[in-house]
Amino acid sequence: MKKYTFIGLLALVLSAFNSCGEADKVVDGIFEDVTRGAILRTVNLVSNELPIGQADGSFIVELEVQDQEQGTLVNQIEVYVGFADNTEQIGPGTNVDEQLFDTVESSTFTTGEFGLPRFTYSVTLPELLNFVGRTEADITGGDQFPIRFELVLSDGRRFSSGDNTGTLTGSFFRSPFLYSPTVICPIPEGAFTGTYALTQTTGGIFGTVFVEENVEITATGGTTREIAVTAYPQFGGFARNFPFELICDEVKIGDLDTGLACAAPNIVYGPAGTTTMYDPNDDSSITLIFTENGGGCGGSADVTLVLTKQ
């Protein structure tokens, strides 16, 4: 985080008012709310994915401590860990409630660029599994390990995610206290990227949903992919990005508001009832199945796309 980020935040606040006096009151109000307690600002979320089969796969986050005494009121930080089983195929019903996992003492903090205490916290998938009493056979892609930080002040007060407000979770402060690293199955480097021929094998509510043409699959994360498509050429064509995720042999498609409509509400693409599988070791072809919900246009249809590597 560069210093001009904070300056930019103040500039936005100042520019929204006609007088310095009014702006000062707003800025003072923000800092009055913040300094009543303490926050843990996300400086850099280095890794929020936990790849199965990689012993060094880790959740890593860099955090900054802030309180009304430049971070010196924080005595220690408690780390709580649980397990959320989000899949039906493997280990259904094996959620684990959070418990105290670790304690970070203030003596381990370093000083960041704003003169405030910072530390980097990391934990591996094997360590998390051992703590919740699970093995890799009990988990699969999409499962999560909620990790919650709780500040313990020298006067006994505590602050965590339950104390958050909109001011703390947005803009400069970014202080959620709670993270949910997700289990993934690693994909070979460079797989499922490059030029693919797009073919639509089942139609949507208007027939053609995307133009059948060569498209580029771009990696937007370890397991996330995206294609740039032209939607509804019969109505003039609309450039859209269509994201999907490759999670342990299964293609996941989330809800995507197209911004297009005959009348409110908009057309939305979402997950279909059919589970789409893929072979992580064969990126020559991949099938995407999603539901086109017509919104104000009426109707819905399951659409099937086949992407074939060129």
Q: Tokens 């370890």 sit at which residue?
A: 222
Check whether residue 114 and residue 152 sit in a common domain: yes
Q: Which residues pair with 308 in a beta bridge?
A: 197, 285
Q: How far apart, in whole angstroms, are the C-alpha atoms of residue 127 and residue 147? A: 13
Above 80 in pLDDT, residue 37? no
Q: What's 244's domain CATH number?
A: 2.40.128
Task: Tell me, yes or no, whether 78 lies in a domain.
Answer: yes
Give the pLDDT confidence of 4-33 residue by residue, as tens digits: 333 233 233 333 444 444 444 444 454 454
Q: State which of 184, 204, 221 marks the end of a domain.
A: 184
* pTM of the predicted model as reported, rounded to 2 decimal places: 0.65
**How many Cα atoms occupy the beta-carbon half-sphere of 302 within 13 Å?**
9
Residue 50's pLDDT band (boundaries 50, 70, 90)?
Answer: very high
| Enclosing domain of residue 151 | 38-184
| Whether residues 170 and 246 fall in one domain | no
> Measured on CA atoms in the order 158, 164, 169, 173, is the torsion positive or negative?
negative
Q: Do 117 and 235 reside in the same domain of the chain?
A: no
Shared-domain flag, residues 42 and 150? yes
Burial of 247 (0-12, 13-18, 19+ CB in 10 A): buried
> Within a 10 A sphere around the Cβ of 211, how many other Cβ atoms?
14
Same domain, 73 and 150: yes
Question: Is 213 in contact with 198 (CB distance < 8 Å)?
Answer: yes
The helix/strand/coil state of 106 is helix
What Å distances lie between residue 309 and 46, 158, 270, 301, 306, CA to CA?
Answer: 31, 54, 24, 26, 10
Identify the sign of the CA torsion 175, 181, 187, 192.
Answer: negative
Encoded tokens for 240: 């859209």
**CA 194 to CA 63: how far, in whole Å?**
36
Hey, what are 183's tokens?
């289990």
| From 22-31, 53-62, 80-89, 208-217, the region with the lowest mean pLDDT | 22-31
Same domain, 212 and 175: no
Model confidence at 122, pLDDT cuts 50, 70, 90, reads very high
Q: In whole numbers, what is the pLDDT of the chain averaged over residues?
A: 86
Could you give the C-alpha distances from 182 to 62, 99, 222, in angstroms and in order? 18, 18, 11
The confidence band for 309, taking pLDDT boundaries of 50, 70 and 90, is very high
Residue 189 lies in a domain: no
Helix 3-15 with 20-35: angle, nearest 10 deg:
130
* Domain membership flag for residue 12: no
Same domain as 251, residue 131: no
Select, from the ranges 17-21, 85-89, 254-258, the one with the highest average predicted confidence (pLDDT): 254-258
What is the number of structural domains in the chain? 2
At 93, list the tokens: 């019903």
- Looking at residue 174, which CATH number applies to its domain? 2.60.40.730
Concatenate the DSSP letters of all residues of 229-241 into one string: EEE-GGGT-EEEE
| Burial tier of 130 (Cβ tally within 10 Å: 0-12, 13-18, 19+) | exposed
pLDDT at 279 over 70: yes
Which of 191-200, 224-233, 242-251, 283-292 has the lowest average pLDDT? 242-251
Of the chain, the end-to-end C-alpha distance in Å amounts to: 40
- Assess if residue 20 is contained within a domain: no
Query: Is 19 part of any domain?
Result: no
Which ranges in the chain belong to alpha helices (H)?
A: 3-15, 20-35, 125-132, 166-169
- pLDDT number for residue 130: 96
Confidence of residue 174 (pLDDT cuts 50, 70, 90): low
In this structure, are 142 and 59 located in the same domain? yes
Residue 98 burial by Cβ neighbours in a 10 Å radius (0-12, 13-18, 19+): middle
Co-location of 203 and 266 in the same domain: yes
Residue 216 shares a structural domain with residue 288: yes
Q: Are residues 66 and 119 in the same domain?
A: yes
Burial environment of residue 307 by CB neighbours within 10 A (0 to 12, 13 to 18, 19 or more): buried
